[in-house]
Chains A and B, each alone.
Chain A
Amino acid sequence: MRRALRAGRSRGLIELRQSVTNGGDLVNHFLWPVLMLATLWFLRDRSFGGFTLGPLLVPSILGMNAAMAMVSMSQHLTADREDGTLLRARATPHGVTGYLTGKLITISGGLILDLAIFLVPALLLIGGVGTSAAGWAALAGLLALGLLATLPAGAVLGSVITSARGQGLLTLPILAVIAISGVFYPITALPGWLQGVAQAFPVYWMGLGTRAAMLPPAAAAVEIGQSWRHLETIAVLSAWAVAGLLVAPIVLRRMARREAGSALASRKERAMQRTG
């Protein structure tokens, strides 16, 4: 078991290194942050409720990007199942433990890199955003809690979705959730029932948390209840974390149990039909 955890750590670091030395992966790392930076540039001088949008957007986008770890976890699992990586792990003693350890490292590491690619230029671009040492600490804590909330949930999604096509379809509801989560404009601009829906997902709470950590207290005026709602943020993200950590092992075990060479062969056939 300890051997598998060590092997998993080295697996994660190797995959992380691969993702920054490989052309296609590098494009993936930069594409989203660069798109977000462009959006930020065009929206920076708009105003809402007496605040300019630029400073509101930086933490909001940061929070949204962090919540997207759920999607990358889910995509990785589906892809690794489809190409046989997971079956390979299953054929190895404690291989699935090592695989998941590696995945956590690859995805959290990749996320921190993506956040930095966005945040550093964003801070230079937009004045009026900045934070104290306490703010940075709060941000780090929030990020850790956010990963706990989103990675197990992403693993559940990745176990349930068996094909790349299914992952493609997942993009639509994800975009819908982003659209109502108060990332690009304050959530209070939305009708009440949509606000209710948005508050069920971690994207809104991650955005709220990052704004709380990075913006001056007065900025809370455009939030629901004119408050940063720290306790609610912690409560909702923790609930996601607990639910994910309870459900993910069961779903993952069931998925791994179903992995066999013949299942792989039939997926291979389907994929060949798609591409051929």
Chain B
Amino acid sequence: MSAIAVAGLRMRYGERDVLHDVTFQVEPGEVVALLGPNGAGKTTTIEILEGFRARSAGRVSVLGEDPGRAGEQWRARVGVVLQSWRDHGKWRVRELLAQLAAYYPDPWDPDDLIAAVGLTPQADQKVRTLSGGQRRRLDVAIGIVGRPGLLFLDEPTAGFDPSARRDFHDLVREFVATSGCTVLLTTHDLDEAERLAGRILILDGGRIVGDGTPVSLAQLVAGDDEVRWSLGGERFARPTGHPARFVHDLYREHGDEIRDLEVHRSSLENTYHALVRSAEAS
């Protein structure tokens, strides 16, 4: 059974359709990114799956249940990393984690979890004194404290500097590798989707316009890789599906005359922009 199965999901606010006929599945153990520009409907989609928002139409199953009707036992199996703001600012890190752990049947030990997310030095600090990155680590700890089978991450690194973002990605990857937890994350950051997810769903204008691994998506539009070189002062560039063979042949033909050799993989970025552009044009 799929961890998440969505078919014909529609969401309408007043006269405006935010989601049209969204259909996708996520299998157990997969890490899937829902990627799209701002206003694409990512947050609406994930909030419907989290059970925080009622949908207008369509079938949705999350861990075998309809999130719109699922009870508290279902809730205990689903981890949600919220876009936090300033809640529980007066609480100390360990205190808050212990409090939230107390609702679950088989929670992490708060101290172990604090160590796992690298907050041991801050364990007795008040939450409001944490930096943005530390606060987000705490949010992840809260999301996984009940050992969920499925974790939702909504825009997990919005507002991060590059090094905090890299640390955060390492944390999530390590968690996924050790727990086998299924993850659905939303992001508008292509690089983040590529680094974290095994599969990417591109959502634009309320529709899924792309679905595949980062590599297969990249090939979808750009297709071939590109080899660039210069020879006798002149520059060349050729697309190819087999760059290694192409370079081999090139060397056999010209030997050490070849200068400035570069192989460019077809880029996910090109695909993404192409898909979003064509979705917006239609």
Residues of A within 8 A of B (CB): 1, 3-4, 6-7, 10-11, 14-15, 18, 22, 80, 83-85, 87-88, 90-95, 98, 259-262, 264-265, 268
Query: What is the CA–CA distance of A94 and B82 in the complex, to the nearest angstrom?
Result: 17
Minimum Cβ distance to chain B for residue A268 (Å): 5
Check A88–B87 contact: CB distance below 8 A.
yes
Query: What is the CA–CA distance of A69 and B82 in the complex, to the nearest angstrom?
Result: 31
Which of A15, A98, A261, A268 has the most chain B CB atoms inside 10 A of its CB? A261
Query: What is the CA–CA distance of A98 and B102 in the complex, to the nearest angstrom?
Result: 10
Query: Is residue B234 within 8 Å, beta carbon to beta carbon, of the partner chain?
Result: no
Query: For B84, what are the chain A residues with a Cβ–Cβ distance below 8 Å?
Result: 84
Query: For B85, what are the chain A residues with a Cβ–Cβ distance below 8 Å?
Result: 83-84, 264, 268
Interface range on chain B (Cβ under 8 Å from partner): 20 to 34
Minimum Cβ distance to chain B for residue A23 (Å): 11
Minimum Cβ distance to chain B for residue A204 (Å): 35
Query: What is the CA–CA distance of A3 and B100 in the complex, to the nearest angstrom?
Result: 11
Query: For B53, what are the chain A residues with a Cβ–Cβ distance below 8 Å?
Result: 260, 262
Residues of B within 8 A of A (CB): 43-44, 47, 50, 52-53, 72-73, 75-76, 80, 82-91, 95, 99-100, 102-105, 142, 146, 154
Query: For B99, what are the chain A residues with a Cβ–Cβ distance below 8 Å?
Result: 7, 10-11, 14
B75 (CB) vs chain A CBs: closest residue: A93
A80 (CB) vs chain B CBs: closest residue: B87
Check A22–B90 contact: CB distance below 8 A.
yes
B139 (CB) vs chain A CBs: closest residue: A88
Cβ-defined partner of A14 (8 Å) among B50, B73, B91, B154? B91
Query: For B44, what are the chain A residues with a Cβ–Cβ distance below 8 Å?
Result: 262
B90 (CB) vs chain A CBs: closest residue: A18
Query: What is the CA–CA distance of A10 and B110 in the complex, to the nearest angstrom?
Result: 16
Check A85–B87 contact: CB distance below 8 A.
yes
Check B90–A261 contact: CB distance below 8 A.
no
Check A94–B87 contact: CB distance below 8 A.
no
Check B83–A261 contact: CB distance below 8 A.
yes
